[in-house]
Amino acid sequence: MHLTAWLTFTILALVCFGVVGLLQKLSTDLVSAEAALVWLIVGFLFLQPFLYPGRSLLIYSMRSIGFVFAAGVLNALGSWAILAAMKTGGKASVVVPFTAVYPSVVCLVAPLLLHEHISTLQGIGIACGLAAIFLLAS
């Protein structure tokens, strides 16, 4: 079997994100959610030298920089909250798929904020996501 480059990297990303869900639970079994988040961010920082574009980032507008910076703040907040959910008794096999339905919120807000259109399929997806939250919480 020959795997194309894009498929190989897609599978690698899938496995990485899947293992992350397990590591979140394993880490919060041993340290606090706050300590787990701090070390998670340190782990993220290890990759920064590979991501740095090698030129000033000030060539971009402050508005865009502000949006992406704020995105990072919210990513950290979301990461802390999922670690806290696991620390306070949430099962990895429930919390991970539960929180993975966050695109439901995006689909509800995007038409208002970004003037994007919701397709019928996405509408069904929102309904499934909300039903999933209800069932996973049961």
Partner 1 sequence: MLELSRTVKQRWFWYSILTIFGWAGWALLLKLGSEEIPSEPSLFLQTVGMVPLAVILVLAGSSRGSQSKKGIVYSLLNGVLSGVGILCLLVAYRSGGNTSVVAVTTSLYPLVTFALAVPLLREKLTGLQILGLILATVSIVLFSL
Name the DSSP class of 46.
T
- When asked if residue 3 is in the footprint of partner 1 (CB under 8 A), the reply is no
Helix (H) or strand (E) segment spanning residue 21: helix 5-28
Rounded least distance, CB 124 to partner 1, Å: 6
Rounded least distance, CB 99 to partner 1, Å: 4
* Token pair recorded at residue 38: 């701090």
| Angstrom distance (rounded) from CA 123 to CA 113 | 17
Rounded least distance, CB 58 to partner 1, Å: 11
For partner 1, the binding residues in 59-118 under the rule CB under 8 A are 60-61, 64-82, 84-86, 88-107, 109-110, 113-114
Name the DSSP class of 57.
G
Q: Figure out which of the listed residues 1, 2, 50, 117 binds partner 1, where binding follows CB under 8 A.
A: 50
Q: Figure out which of the listed residues 2, 23, 115, 117 binds partner 1, where binding follows CB under 8 A.
A: 23
Name the DSSP class of 41.
H
| 8 Å CB contact between 98 and 132 | yes
- When asked if residue 46 is in the footprint of partner 1 (CB under 8 A), the reply is yes
